[in-house]
Structure formats: structure tokens, C-alpha cells
Amino acid sequence: MSDSRTVGKLLVNAQQMLEGAGIANAVQEARWLLAYALEMKHHELASRAEQSVTAEQLACVLSLVRRRESREPLQYILGSQEFCGLDFSVTPAVLIPRPETELLIQETLREGGFAGGAVLVDVGTGSGCVAVTLATILGGMRIFALDCSHDALSVAKANAERHGVSDKIVWLEGDFLSPLKECSVAGAVDAIISNPPYIAEADWAGLQPEVRDYEPRQALLAGPQGTEFHERLIHDSKQFLVPGGLLVMELGQGQAPLVRRVAEAAGGYTGIQTVKDEAGIDRVLIARRACEGPSHG
């Protein structure tokens, strides 16, 4: 890359390096990295192809491309990821928001019908993408965002500030739903929403290196089955949800039948349903707190 004296040549060399590392979207990713390093808009790269680059710019691009070559996720290098039309800061302390998780937002809003003063809880908030997005859409709600990671909550708080909703969200650090016990909301929560860890231990080694080697393990790995956190949510949410309140959870591929059976066996829920994502995978499970007495769905 040392002979890359112009923007155009630098772009070509960056593409070749990424292709050599097996990066599937090498052409587009090289453009993103160059635009970021050279502080240009993407569309300016072509019109400024003959522009010379300084030694400092060359070193900066080379550093970024080498990080991506080692399979560090592009989102961590650039420090951001788009979610539901909003830009979220991301660091290795948080899971990178996925398009599939936007379905959690859509289904919560579709099923919710929330009145003013409703209480929503985002369990395992990570970057805050779910809590912050809901806060930008819904007015007059009380939103609690929970995570066991102090570093993740710091990222989430910064994202809330970035989107002007800091005053709408209460941040709680602790294991799963346990921080709620101090908040006097037992039986008063209108929706519990979660994208919990759902990777089974046996599947860990087969994950893409971007995920396995860089994203936070505790946000991904659930246990031997992969559904351990779903099962905890199903059992622990009942004490907090109002009658008719929603439990909305993201699922891993193939997990819907087992998680549905757990919800049915737990009792206390009705209207249990799953929703497919754009790939046809059952991606979200919705259960509604039964209004009276235990229900088996």
C-alpha cells in the first residue's frame, strides 16, 4: 500500500487487501473505511480520485484496513451502527445492533397500544438501541433499561443523550430483572422487551470470527441449550407484568418451538405467538400476561 499516492490508488489497494482477507463486501467496506479515515463523504472518493494523500493519511487508512483484515467488525472500527433509522455509537462493550432486532421494536409497538404513563423494561439493553428507539417514538412512558455491564450502560447512556431522550430512561445495573425489585414496579410493567443471549455453547466455535473474537461474550452466550435466558425471562417476568402486559423476546434460529413450550408450561401467559423475520425465521416470541389465574396459552 506504500505506493498509494492518490485517493484512487489507495482505494484499489484497500479493496485488494480486504478481498485477500476474505471480506465478502470488500469493495463497499474499503469505501467506508477510506471515507472515514480521509474525512470525506462516500461520493467524494470518485471525484477526488486523483487527489494526493499525505503520509499521515496513508498510515491512518493502513491501520484501519489492517484492523478489518484481522476481522475486527467494521462497526467497531467506525464506532457506529444504524438501527431503526438512528445512528448508534458502538464499542466492544456492546453487541452490534442487528436488523433482526428491529422486529422487537415493530412488534412491541404493534401489540402494545400503550397509554400514557405505561412502564416498559428493556432487559440487556447493551447499546441502548431498543430503549432509546422506543423513547424517541413513544411519549409519556417510563422506560427502564437494565444491563449487568457497567461499560455497556455507559455506551447506552451516551446514545440516549445523543438522541435527546436521556430524561425518559432509567438505567439500572444488575443481573437480569433483579434491579427492578428495588423500583416498586411489581405487577405494574406493561411490557418487558429483550434481545437476550441465545448462542448455545456447542455453536460458539462455529461463529464468524467478527462475532466470536470481538463482540462481548456475555451478550451472546446463553449456556448449553441457548435458551437459558429465555426461560429465566418467562419465569421471572410474571411477577412484574400487569395483567395483559407483554413479554417480547428475540429468538435464535430453531429456538421457537422449545421457548414456546416453556412459556406454555410456565402458566400465567396467554396469546403466545411467534413472528418471522424477513428470512422466514421465527425471530420474536410474544406472550401476554394472563388476566386471571394461570393459563396454558
123 and 242 in a single domain? The answer is: yes
| pLDDT tens digits for range 111-156 | 998 988 999 999 999 999 999 999 999 999 999 999 999 999 999 9
DSSP-derived 3-state class of residue 227:
coil
110 and 61 in a single domain? The answer is: no
Percent of the chain clearing pLDDT 70 (strictly above): 97
- Establish if 21 belongs to a structural domain: yes
Integer Cα distance of 115 and 118 in angstroms? 6
Residue span of the structural domain in which 47 resides:
7-70
144 and 265 in a single domain? The answer is: yes
283 and 171 in a single domain? The answer is: yes
| Full 3-state SS string of 46-104 | HHCCCCECCHHHHHHHHHHHHHHHCCCCHHHHHCEEEECCEEEECCCCCCCCCHHHHHH
- pLDDT score, position 196: 96
In degrees, rounded to 5, the angle at the alpha carbon of residue 80 between the alpha carbons of residues 74 and 81 is: 85
30 and 110 in a single domain? The answer is: no
- Establish if 275 belongs to a structural domain: yes
- pLDDT score, position 295: 42
- pLDDT score, position 4: 67
25 and 129 in a single domain? The answer is: no
Q: Which of 15, 48, 70 is the last residue of a domain?
A: 70
Integer Cα distance of 297 and 269 in angstroms? 6
246: burial class by Cβ within 10 Å (0-12, 13-18, 19+)?
buried
127 and 11 in a single domain? The answer is: no
Sign of CA dihedral 257, 262, 265, 266: negative
- pLDDT score, position 58: 93
- Establish if 162 belongs to a structural domain: yes
138 and 285 in a single domain? The answer is: yes
49 and 95 in a single domain? The answer is: no
- pLDDT score, position 46: 87
Q: Is a pLDDT exceeding 90 seen at residue 294?
A: no
- Establish if 29 belongs to a structural domain: yes
The model's pTM is 0.91
Q: Total structural domains in the chain?
A: 2
Dihedrals phi, psi of 42, to nearest 5 degrees: -55, -45
128 and 215 in a single domain? The answer is: yes
- Establish if 76 belongs to a structural domain: no
| pLDDT tens digits for range 151-179 | 999 999 999 999 999 999 999 999 999 99
Sign of CA dihedral 217, 219, 220, 223: positive
Say if CB 237 and CB 177 are below 8 A apart: yes
- Segment 187-205 shows an average pLDDT of 95
213 and 247 in a single domain? The answer is: yes
